[in-house]
């Protein structure tokens, strides 16, 4: 690790990876060498997940077999369903995923025979089931049937949520969103997963570490905050004035700027196009116009550009996804990237143990308890 004293380890190189590039001049965002623009426009999320986990884009046969495996792996153990039923109805949605993943790890522990690739595929397949089984049990009073034959994770998630097949435009939109959220180099949650993996802990523990890290509002959750912000305003003019007032009070506006990108987030350009497309499709131009107004003021006042989270908020809203599910949907995508990083960390492992700069008191003489004032 380079010897740099920068807050939050910004610009500090903490390791090597062959999985993705983020913010490199002249390269942009790539997954294993493939530009995000090409992946988002030409691939299914399953192709991208396969690329990340297995290291190469699948052939037609490999993709077909992969999708069939994922369909079979959607079912949950009876014991896990009971645990989900016992989780309170008012629980944080991220806590449900964290607990579900942890419980699955006790029921189907990692072994030499049941290794990391199988667990990665298992989690990719069943995380939507975990969340939506709990959601429907407590919110609609139903025990949903997870063995829906939808051939993509996007279609499967939406069909479980809606309790009927989703329109293709929504499926295609969520498919793109999953691709955009699938991987992003050494972000906080991925780094947490690699730290856990570096101790030689099990695969599930590394994923639980990542979920817990993503739950933090400075990493995940920005799309949820962005949605709450946008819904505050009735018109673009009200949005401009409201955001100006928030900035004057030094309030944090989520969904703008990025620790790595300097000029723009390439993912935001793609998801913004989907937000506009869905605004036209749903005949709801207000939300998109308000989003544009917020973006305009943030650039005028702070020279901050929208990141992926900002327009993802309106996209998910247009797709009729509850706001509390925005960050869990992030998890369902990023588990592919987390898995790739855990596998990579294990392949050439060294314990991740940085040092700190001590700023405490100078050495002191010990005082016996009877003599302390």
Q: Is 219 among the residues known to form the active site? A: yes
pLDDT in tens, 110-152: 999 999 999 999 999 999 999 999 999 999 999 998 877 899 9
pLDDT in tens, 300-342: 999 999 999 999 999 999 999 999 999 999 999 999 999 999 9
Neighbours of 324 (CB within 10 A): 14
Q: Mean pLDDT throughout 349-361?
A: 91
d(CA 29, CA 266): 7
**Mean pLDDT score of the chain, rounded to an integer?**
92
The CATH homologous superfamily of the domain defined by 18-218+331-347: Citrate Synthase, domain 1 (1.10.580.10)
Report CA-CA distances (Å) from 334 to 73, 144, 310, 329: 18, 24, 17, 9
Q: Mean pLDDT throughout 236-245?
A: 94
Q: Which of 95, 136, 219, 284 is catalytic?
A: 219
Q: Is 258 among the residues known to form the active site? A: yes
**Overall residue count recorded for the chain in this entry:** 373
Where in the chain are the domains? 18-218+331-347, 222-318
At residue 43's C-alpha, the angle toward residues 41 and 44, to 5°, is 120
Q: Burial level of 72, CB count in 10 A (0-12/13-18/19+)?
A: exposed
d(CA 121, CA 359): 45
Task: State which fold the 222-318 domain adopts.
Answer: Cytochrome p450-Terp; domain 2 (1.10.230)
Q: Which of 265, 309, 317, 341 is catalytic?
A: 309
Neighbours of 64 (CB within 10 A): 13
Sheet of 28-31, strand order? 20-24, 28-31, 34-35
Q: Which of 258, 265, 317, 341 is catalytic?
A: 258
pTM (2 decimals)?
0.92
The SS3 assignment for 30 reads strand
Residue 329 structure tokens: 């949907």
- Per the CB < 8 A criterion, the answer to whether 156 and 134 are in contact is no
Beta bridge partners of 63: none
Q: Is 202 among the residues known to form the active site? A: no
């Amino acid at each position: 690790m380079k010897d740099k004293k920068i807050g939050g380890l910004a610009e500090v190189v903490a390791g090597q990876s062959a999985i993705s590039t983020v913010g490199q001049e002249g390269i942009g965002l790539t997954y294993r060498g493939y530009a995000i623009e090409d992946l988002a426009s030409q691939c299914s999320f399953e192709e991208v997940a396969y690329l990340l986990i297995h290291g190469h884009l699948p052939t037609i046969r490999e993709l077909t077999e992969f999708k069939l495996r994922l369909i079979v792996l959607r079912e949950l153990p009876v014991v896990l369903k009971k645990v989900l039923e016992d989780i309170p109805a008012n629980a944080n949605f991220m806590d449900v995923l964290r607990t579900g993943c942890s419980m699955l790890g006790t029921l189907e522990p990692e072994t030499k025979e049941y290794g990391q690739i199988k667990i990665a595929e298992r989690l990719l397949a069943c995380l939507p089931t975990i969340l939506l089984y709990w959601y429907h049990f407590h919110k609609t009073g139903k025990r949903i049937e997870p063995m829906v034959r939808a051939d993509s994770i996007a279609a499967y998630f939406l069909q479980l949520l809606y309790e009927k097949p989703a329109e293709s435009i929504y499926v295609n939109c969520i498919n793109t969103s999953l691709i955009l959220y699938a991987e992003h180099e050494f972000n906080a949650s991925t780094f947490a997963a690699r730290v856990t993996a570096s101790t030689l802990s099990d695969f599930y523990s590394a994923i639980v570490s990542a979920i817990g890290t993503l739950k933090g509002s400075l990493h995940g959750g920005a799309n949820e905050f962005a949605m709450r912000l946008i819904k505050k305003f009735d018109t673009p003019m009200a949005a401009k004035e409201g955001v100006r007032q928030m900035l004057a009070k030094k309030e944090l506006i989520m969904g703008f700027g990025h620790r790595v990108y300097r000029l723009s987030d390439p993912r935001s350009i793609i998801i913004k196009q989907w937000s506009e497309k869905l605004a036209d499709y749903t005949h709801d131009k207000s939300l998109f116009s308000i989003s544009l107004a917020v973006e305009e003021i943030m650039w005028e006042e702070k020279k901050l550009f929208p990141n992926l989270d900002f327009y993802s908020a309106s996209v998910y809203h247009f797709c009729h996804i509850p706001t509390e599910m925005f960050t869990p949907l992030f998890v369902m995508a990023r588990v592919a990237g987390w898995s790739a990083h855990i596998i990579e960390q294990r392949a050439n492992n060294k314990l991740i143990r940085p040092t700190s700069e001590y700023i405490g008191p100078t050495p002191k003489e010990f005082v016996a308890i009877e003599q302390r004032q």
